[in-house]
Amino acid sequence: MERPELEVRNLKVAASGRKILDVSYFDLRKGECLALFGPNGSGKSTFLRIISLLQRPDSGEIYYQGQAVSPENREELRRKIVYLLQKPVFFRGTVHDNLLLGLRFRQVDRAEQQTRLERISGLFNLAPLLGRFPDELSGGERQRVHLARAFILEPEFLYLDEPFNGLDVQFREEIMSDFYRIRKSLGITTILVTHNREEAVNLADRMAVMLSGQIVQAGSLEEISEAPATAEVSRLMGQEALVEGVVEKSDDGLLEIRAHGQSIYAFGKQRKGKRVVLTFRPEEVILAPERPASSVRNWFKVEIKEIRPFERMVLVLMDCGFRLKALVSRTSVEELGLKPGTEIWAGIKATALTTWPGLEEMNSSENENE
């Protein structure tokens, strides 16, 4: 197999006795876009700073294109990489000056600067902004300039820290599509830090999940969605925790779980008497005015607590002794006349529920491993 463009081994960083990063292995392949996915505070930004060679780890090895990073080649390698911070910070001067700054750092000659400037302003549609100053730009424009000043450098590696954060939906989609198109056309090896599933799905070829400073899973989006390594990964991939209960019956993988006075059916390997946590995707929940005759095993009579828009859909929050969420279309909300306070039936197939060891079981198995 071809050697990865970037390989990281046994990377460790600690601060005041607390482990911040502990990455045993990470790789990045030529031309791919990898989504580094994880909640806030999981160490993603520290990881990016280290692989951008801006911060030294306590220990560990980093290889770029098969070459171990050393004090001798550090500066040279650093210029192959561009890392964009989450917050777009600008330097004194116009958009034009800000775009050229990185090229000037690299002492690219003037003619080449001009060629690249024209190309990038064309790609990002920046021509009307060149003479303006960063504080005169809208949020979306700032973000576009921020991205453009990375692409203008034509780096071999591009590391972006949540570049689409805080933008309104319309701008986000525009900039995301610019990003996708331009990245593809230039073939830059990219890491995209995000905690937004939609971004990962739309833009990345592969995904790595970071939790508490560790890469807990890496693979294709399908692999991670279908077989998340831990309950936390599953939750990050959009699964919601439903409820914790005790297995009452186990019949060839079909479990009957007792929780809050209700019986819930799900598939799993847990034995009778064990505590389990059930997770589900809100889009798998079916809502009906009456309990219909169907193959769906789990039906709960629920009271609607709240209805709120979520991206292009509507999130319905319900209660039936435990909390339940459904993601439905706006039309469904209108047709079913859903509003807070009404009682309806919520169904979820046994196969749509995932079972995880209960919290106590999980802690005890972790202790066994230690």
Partner 1 sequence: MNLKEIIQITWLSLLVSGAAVSLAMLVGLPAAVLLYLKKFPGKRLVVSLVNTGMGLPPVVVGLLVAIMFWRSGPLGFLGMMYTPAAMVIAQFIIALPLVVGLSLTALEQVDPEVLLQARALGANAWQTVRVLFRESRMGQLAAIIAAFGGVISEVGAVMMVGGNLKGYTRVLTTAIVQETRMGNLRGAVYLAVILLTLSFFINLFLTSLQRKGVSRWKGPSWK
Compare residues 151 and 265 and give the one whose CB is closer to partner 1: 151
CA 343 to chain centre: 35
One residue of 11, 33, 62, 82 binding partner 1 per CB under 8 A = 82
Q: Which residues contact 32 (CB under 8 A, 6 or more apart)?
A: 189, 190, 205, 206
Least distance to partner 1, CB of residue 318, Å? 43
Strand partners, 160: 84, 192
> Which 133-152 residues touch partner 1, going by CB under 8 A?
133, 135, 149-150
The 8-class DSSP code of residue 4 comes to P
Question: What is d(CA 35, CA 24) in angstroms, rounded to the nearest whole number?
Answer: 18
Compare residues 78 and 323 and give the one whose CB is closer to partner 1: 78
CB-based contact 336:297 (threshold 8 Å): no
Q: Which of 212, 209, 207, 227 is nearest to 28 (CA)?
A: 207
Size of the site for partner 1 (CB under 8 A): 29
Q: State whether residue 205 is helix, strand or coil.
A: coil
Kindly state whether residue 85 participates in binding partner 1, applying the rule CB under 8 A: yes
**Side chain identity, residue 161:** D
Interface pattern 152-191 for partner 1 (x via CB under 8 A): -x--------------------------------------
Kindly state whether residue 84 participates in binding partner 1, applying the rule CB under 8 A: yes
Kindly state whether residue 113 participates in binding partner 1, applying the rule CB under 8 A: no
One residue of 7, 63, 101, 140 binding partner 1 per CB under 8 A = 101
CB-based contact 51:4 (threshold 8 Å): no
Kindly state whether residue 128 participates in binding partner 1, applying the rule CB under 8 A: no
Structure tokens at 242: 């439903």
Residue ranges binding partner 1 (CB under 8 A): 49, 52, 54, 75, 78-79, 82-85, 87, 89, 91-94, 96-97, 100-102, 104-106, 133, 135, 149-150, 153
